[in-house]
Amino acid sequence: MNDAQPPRRLGRSIGAVLAGMIVGIVVTLVTDAVLHAIHVFPPWGASMVGFDGVLLLATGYRTVYGVLGSYIIARLAAQPAHGACAGGRRDWPCGEHSGRRPNME
């Protein structure tokens, strides 16, 4: 039996993960720097104790940026299952050898 399988694109998968991580990290750092510059956050190195609202703000935008990074990984991944695993989709098999695909209807 000669089953023709598509070539594995490990480099593309690694690149997708790196791109998603880099976007998430860079956007987070830029947002942190802007919020420090406009004095929403206390100065660099100062304690954030007592700044509960600011910590909630930081948690919110970092969550959104994490979702954005996961979306980028999913869009750039060589195989849909790689992106789905990185994005936390539970209805897609994450193992390469499972051979199953979800019913998308």
pLDDT of residue 4: 60
Answer whether residue 94 shows pLDDT above 60: no
Answer whether residue 97 shows pLDDT above 70: no
Domains in the chain: boundaries: 10-43+51-87
What does the pLDDT look like over 31-87, one tens digit per residue?
A: 999 999 999 999 999 988 888 999 999 999 999 999 999 999 999 886 665 445 555
Produce one character per residue of 45-57: b if its CB has 16 or more CB atoms within 10 Å, e if not. eeeeeeeeeeeee
Question: Cβ–Cβ contacts within 10 Å for residue 35, how many?
Answer: 15
Query: What's the token pair of residue 27?
Result: 């956007």
